[in-house]
C-alpha cells in the first residue's frame, strides 16, 4: 500500500507482515513521524518512502509504545525521539522479553539491533509546533501497555492511537498490558472528540468503532473482576465466563487483572 491521506496533510501507511501503521503529520516547519516499523532495514525503507511526501528527514519521531513492530526501526532516523517517560526503561528491560515471547523468530532475526531510546520524554502531555499547526502528545493512562502515547492533530480532529485501538484484529493483551485500566483510557481518548482514529493496526476508524471497542474492553475488565470475586483461577475463568473475544487471546488479560486485584486487596 502507499501513503493514504487520512486528514489534511496527515498520512498513514500500513505494512504487511505485522500489519502495522506508520503515521506522518506535515506542517510548515516539517513533519512528525509516528512509529518506525520493526527493524533497521524496515526503518531505512520507510525513510526512503517519506520522500514521496517530500520529507527528507522528520522534524520529530514519536514512538507510540515500545513494542518492536512500532519502534525497532528507530536507529534509521536522526530523531529527536519522543516517547512516554517509562519508555526508555521498557526498551532496556522489557521490549526484548515481550518480543521473544510474541515472535521468537523475529527476535532471533533482529538480535543485537540498536534501538534508539527517546530523550524527549512525556509524562502527561507535550506539544510539537510545526509552525502552522500543533501536534499534541498525550499519555491518557495505562492500557495496551503502561506507557502508551497517542498523537492528536487538533486542527483536523485526527488521533493516532497506537495499539490502544486495533482495527484489523482484536485488541492485543500481552504480558505487559493493563486490562483493568484500558477502558477508562479509551474513554479519555474519546473525550478528545476525534473525528477519525488511526489504529496501530488496520484502517482508520470513527467514533462508533472506537466506542464499541472500548465497550468490549470494558466487558473484559468486568469479566476479570467477576471471575476474581468468584475465586476462579485464570484458566477456569476463561472457560466459564462469557467473553467478547476468543478466550484463548485473553490469558494474559485475566492473569494480569487477577494479579492487580489481588495486589489491591
The contact set with Zn ion (CB under 5 A) reads: 67, 163
Q: Are 39 and 26 in contact (CB under 8 A)?
A: no
* CB nearer to Zn ion: pick between 70 and 138: 70
Q: Are 60 and 29 in contact (CB under 8 A)?
A: no
What's the closest the beta carbon of residue 164 comes to Zn ion, in angstroms? 9
* CB nearer to Zn ion: pick between 251 and 261: 251
What's the closest the beta carbon of residue 72 comes to Zn ion, in angstroms? 12
Residues in contact with 231: Cβ distance below 8 Å, sequence separation at least 6, in sequence order: none
* CB nearer to Zn ion: pick between 65 and 255: 65
Residues in contact with 237: Cβ distance below 8 Å, sequence separation at least 6, in sequence order: 223, 224, 227, 228, 230, 254, 258
* CB nearer to Zn ion: pick between 157 and 203: 203
* CB nearer to Zn ion: pick between 144 and 258: 144
How many angstroms separate the CA atoms of 176 and 183, rounded?
16
What's the closest the beta carbon of residue 134 comes to Zn ion, in angstroms? 26
* CB nearer to Zn ion: pick between 67 and 258: 67
* CB nearer to Zn ion: pick between 133 and 147: 147
What's the closest the beta carbon of residue 65 comes to Zn ion, in angstroms? 6
What's the closest the beta carbon of residue 68 comes to Zn ion, in angstroms? 9
Which 3 state secondary structure label does DSSP give 35?
A: coil
What's the closest the beta carbon of residue 57 comes to Zn ion, in angstroms? 26
Cα–Cα nearest to 61, from 91, 40, 32: 32
* CB nearer to Zn ion: pick between 12 and 67: 67
Angle 260-264-265 from CA coordinates, rounded to 5°: 120
List phi, psi (to 5°) of 18.
Answer: -90, 0
Cα–Cα nearest to 81, from 135, 143, 36, 142: 36
Compute the 3-state secondary structure of the chain and give helix, strand, coil in percent, each to the nearest 5: 35, 25, 40
What's the closest the beta carbon of residue 155 comes to Zn ion, in angstroms? 27
Q: Which residues pair with 136 in a beta bridge?
A: 127, 152
Q: How far does Cα 69 stand from its chain's mean position?
A: 10
Q: Are 140 and 150 in contact (CB under 8 A)?
A: yes
What's the closest the beta carbon of residue 49 comes to Zn ion, in angstroms? 22
Amino acid at each position: 500500500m502507499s501513503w493514504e491521506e487520512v486528514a489534511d496533510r496527515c498520512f498513514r501507511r500500513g505494512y504487511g507482515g505485522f500489519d502495522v501503521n506508520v503515521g506522518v503529520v506535515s506542517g510548515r516547519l516539517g513533519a512528525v513521524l509516528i512509529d518506525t516499523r520493526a527493524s533497521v532495514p524496515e526503518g531505512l525503507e520507510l525513510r526512503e518512502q517519506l520522500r514521496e511526501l517530500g520529507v527528507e528527514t522528520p522534524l520529530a519521531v514519536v514512538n507510540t509504545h515500545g513494542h518492536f513492530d512500532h519502534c525497532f526501526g528507530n536507529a534509521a532516523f536522526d530523531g529527536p525521539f519522543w516517547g512516554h517517560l517509562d519508555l526508555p526503561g521498557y526498551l532496556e528491560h522489557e521490549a526484548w522479553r515481550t518480543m521473544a515471547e510474541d515472535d521468537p523468530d523475529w527476535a532471533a532475526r533482529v538480535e543485537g539491533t540498536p534501538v534508539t531510546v527517546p530523550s524527549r520524554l512525556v509524562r502527561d502531555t507535550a506539544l510539537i509546533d510545526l509552525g502552522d499547526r500543533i501536534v499534541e502528545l498525550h499519555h491518557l493512562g495505562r492500557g495496551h501497555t503502561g506507557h502508551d502515547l497517542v498523537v492528536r492533530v487538533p486542527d483536523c480532529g485526527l488521533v493516532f492511537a497506537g495499539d490502544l485501538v486495533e482495527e484489523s484484529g482484536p485488541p492485543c493483551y500481552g504480558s505487559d498490558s493493563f486490562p483493568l485500566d484500558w477502558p477508562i483510557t479509551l474513554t479519555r481518548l474519546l473525550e478528545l472528540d476525534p473525528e477519525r482514529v488511526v489504529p496501530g493496526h488496520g484502517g482508520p476508524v470513527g467514533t462508533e468503532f472506537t466506542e464499541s471497542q472500548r465497550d468490549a474492553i470494558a466487558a473484559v475488565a468486568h469479566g476479570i473482576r467477576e471471575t476474581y470475586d468468584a475465586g476462579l483461577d485464570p484458566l477456569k475463568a476463561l472457560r466459564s465466563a462469557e467473553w467478547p473475544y476468543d478466550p484463548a487471546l485473553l490469558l494474559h488479560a485475566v492473569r494480569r487483572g487477577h494479579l492487580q486485584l489481588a495486589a489491591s486487596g
